[in-house]
Amino acid sequence: MPTPALKQTREAEQARQAGFVCRVFCCAGTACLSAEGQDVWEALCDARSTHRLDERVDLVRTGCMGLCSQGPLVRVEIAGAAPRLYGTVSPMLARLIITEHVTPALTRGDDFVLPEFLSSHALPDDLAFFTQQERVVLDRIDQADPERIQDALAHGAYSALADALECRPAELIEEIRTSGLRGRGGGGYPTGQKWANAAGTAAEQRFIICNGDEGDPGAYVDRSILEGDPHAVIEGMLLAGHAVGARRGYVYVRAEYELAVRRVSTAIKQAREQGILGDAVLGSPFRFDCEVITAAGAFVCGEETALIKSIEGQRGTPRPRPPYPSERGLWGCPTVISNVETLANLPRIIARGADWFRTIGTTDSPGTKVFSLAGRARLAGLLEVPMGTSLRTVIDTLGGGSKTGRPVCGVQIGGLSGGLIPAEQLDTTLSYEAMSELGSVVGSGGMIVLDEDDDLLDLACYFLQYAVEESCGRCAACRIGTHQLLNLATKIRQNGATDADLALIDRLAKTMQATSLCGLGKAAPRPLMSFLRNWPERIPRADTPDGGAA
C-alpha cells in the first residue's frame, strides 16, 4: 500500500487535472524541442494568459508523442470532444490553437466547428501510425509531465511498487519469470532468470544498473523513455532491487542525452522527496537509492561488462564472460543490468500480471517492442508494437512507406550489430527468434528505412568506420579486424571486387565472429556481410579479364 501522504498527492493531482475543462499537451521530447518546440510552448503559455484561461485550461509538457517527423506536436483535449493532434506547429499556429480552437470551443460547446485553416494542420484521427500501435511501455509518455512526479503518480506510477513491497522477493522473481520478459537491449536474455541468478549468488551487496548507453546510431527508444517517463525506469529499478536484494542503483546515461540526464536527475530528486527512494521505500524496511552516471562517449560501454568498468572509473573495455554480471558485476558484486525499456516494462507487468503480459506478442517473445523509425520512412518517430508484428506492417502501414517516392529496398535494424534486411524479407516478424534466423537482431530498436537510391555499400562502410573508431582496442580481432575489413570494403567500393577480395572478406568476417572478445567485434561484419549476401547484384566488380584472382 502506498503511504497516506503519497496517496494524498496522487488524489490531489487527479482532482486538479479533473478541474480543467480543457487540457493542452505540448510535446517536449528532444525532436520537437529541436524544431521550435520551446517557442511553441511559450506561445501557448502566452496566449493562454492573454485570454485569461489559466483557470480553465491546463498546459502540460509531455514526453515524446511519437510522430517526430511532424513535430512540434500539440494535442488539445476538451471534455466531451475527441482529442485533436496538431503537427508541424509553429509559434503562430500555437497561438491560433488557443484563440481559434480552445477559446471558441469552450464558449460554443457542441456547436463549435474547427475552422478549415486549423483542421488542415490536425492529423487524421485514424492515422495507422497511432491506431496500429499497442502501447504498454509508452502508455503515459504522451500523457504526463516528466518533470512533475505528481503527474506521474496521477497516472499510476509507483502503484506496482506499493503492491510489490507486500510480496516476497521470490514471488516477484517468479512473476517476472512467468511473464517471459526478455531483455530489450539486444541479447534477449530472460529478465527473471537474470534476477534469479543475482538473488541466488551469495553476496553482501548487490546492484541494479540501468543501461541507458543507447549507442546504436539510429535508435532513440531509450532516450525517449528516459526523457518522457523517467519514473517508470526508477520504479523498474526499485522492483528489481526489491526482487534481488539490492540497495543501490545506477542509471548510466549517454552524455549526449543532456535532456535525459536532466530529467532523470530531477525524477530521482522528486522520488526521494516523496519517500519513494531512500532509507524506507514507501515506509517499508526496503532501502534503495539511485544516482545518475553520465557516460562519456564510448559506444562499447553499451556492452554490460564494459559499462561496469566504466562506472568503476576505468576504460570501458569488455571482459570475457562468464562470470556474468549477475554473479560478479559492479565491484565484484552480483549486478542486474537491464536496459531502459526492459525496466520500464516491469511496473506494467507487476501491475497487470504476467498472464496479461503473455497475451501480447509471441510465445517466445512476449510483450511489445518500442522502435524508432527513421531514414526514408514517410512517418518517422517512436512507436510500440506487439512482438511478432512484421517489418512490413511497421514500415508500410505505420510508417506509410517511403517518403521519397522511390520504393523501399530494405531496412537497417539493430544498429551496428544488426544487418541490412532486403525488401523481400520484410514479412519477417519482429521477434528474437525470427530475427536471429535472419542473422540479425531485434536490437535496441533503431529502424532505418532505405530506398532504392541509397548507397548500401557506403552504409556498410559507414558502420565499419563506426566500429573502427568505437572498438575498445583491447582484442586484436576487433581492433585490427574492423580496420582491415573497412579497408577491403572501401577497396571494392572504389575498384570493384575480385573473387579473392570477397573470399578474404569472408574469411576475415568469420575470424572476427569466432574470436572477438565481445559482441562489438563479433557483430561488426554484419552490415557488410548482409549487404554482400542480400544484394549480390549491387556488388561492384573489378573489370579484371578473368573477373577474379587479383
Contact flag: residue 198 with another protein (CB under 8 A): no
Q: Which residues, 467 to 496, sit near another protein by CB under 8 A?
A: 467-477, 479-484, 486-488
User: By CB under 8 A, which span of 16-24, 51-59, 129-137, 377-385 interacts with another protein?
Assistant: 377-385
Q: How far is the CB of 313 from another protein (least distance, A)?
A: 3
| One residue of 197, 397, 511, 544 binding another protein per CB under 8 A | 511
Looking at 2-60, list the stretches that DSSP marks H as alpha helix, in order from N- to C-terminal side: 4-18, 30-32, 38-50
**Residues present in the chain in total:** 550
| One residue of 5, 18, 113, 255 binding another protein per CB under 8 A | 255
Q: How far is the CB of 453 from another protein (least distance, A)?
A: 10
CB 408 within 8 A of CB 395: yes
Q: How far is the CB of 479 from another protein (least distance, A)?
A: 6
d(CA 250, CA 458): 38
Stretch 222-251: interaction string toward another protein, x if CB under 8 A: -xx---------------------------
Q: How far is the CB of 468 from another protein (least distance, A)?
A: 5
CB 192 within 8 A of CB 176: yes
Contact flag: residue 256 with another protein (CB under 8 A): yes
Query: For another protein, which is the closer residue by CB, 163 or 452?
Result: 452
Handedness of CA 364, 366, 368, 370 (dihedral sign): negative
Of 32, 252, 218, 16, which is closest to residue 141 (Cα–Cα)?
Answer: 32
CB-hemisphere CA count at 13 Å for 401?
Answer: 6
Q: Which residues, 274 to 293, sit near another protein by CB under 8 A?
A: 293
Query: For another protein, which is the closer residue by CB, 358 or 491?
Result: 491
Instruction: List beta partners, residue 337.
Output: 209
Contact flag: residue 202 with another protein (CB under 8 A): no
Contact flag: residue 299 with another protein (CB under 8 A): yes
Contact flag: residue 128 with another protein (CB under 8 A): no
Contact flag: residue 215 with another protein (CB under 8 A): yes
CB 325 within 8 A of CB 304: yes
Q: Which residues, 65 to 124, sit near another protein by CB under 8 A?
A: 68-69, 71
Q: How far is the CB of 17 from another protein (least distance, A)?
A: 30
The bridge status of strand 22-27 relative to strand 57-62 is parallel
d(CA 115, CA 198): 59
Extract the C-alpha cell encoding 8.
494524498
Contact flag: residue 436 with another protein (CB under 8 A): no
What one-character DSSP code corresponds to residue 448?
Answer: E
Contact flag: residue 446 with another protein (CB under 8 A): yes
| One residue of 59, 298, 497, 529 binding another protein per CB under 8 A | 298
- Cα angle 503, 504, 506 (rounded to 5 degrees) comes to 65
Three-state secondary structure call for residue 386: strand
Q: At what angle do helices 230-244 and 221-228 cross, to 10 degrees?
A: 90
Exposed/middle/buried for residue 167 (C-beta within 10 Å: 0-12, 13-18, 19+): middle
Q: How far is the CB of 263 from another protein (least distance, A)?
A: 14
**CB atoms inside a 10 Å sphere around CB 350:** 25
Query: For another protein, which is the closer residue by CB, 30 or 103?
Result: 30
| One residue of 112, 356, 462, 535 binding another protein per CB under 8 A | 462
Query: For another protein, which is the closer residue by CB, 133 or 482?
Result: 482
Is cis: bond before 322, omega within 30 of 0? yes
Contact flag: residue 519 with another protein (CB under 8 A): no
One-letter amino acid identity for 255? A
Extract the C-alpha cell encoding 174.
517468479
Biggest CA pair distance of the chain: 84
Q: Which residues, 143 to 172, sit near another protein by CB under 8 A?
A: none
Query: For another protein, which is the closer residue by CB, 375 or 388?
Result: 375
User: By CB under 8 A, which span of 79-87, 131-139, 295-303, 530-538 interacts with another protein?
Assistant: 295-303
Contact flag: residue 312 with another protein (CB under 8 A): yes
Contact flag: residue 186 with another protein (CB under 8 A): no
Phi, psi of 522 (to 5 degrees): -65, -35
| One residue of 28, 85, 136, 295 binding another protein per CB under 8 A | 295
Q: Which residues, 357 to 376, sit near another protein by CB under 8 A?
A: 372-376
Contact flag: residue 314 with another protein (CB under 8 A): yes
Q: How far is the CB of 139 from another protein (least distance, A)?
A: 21
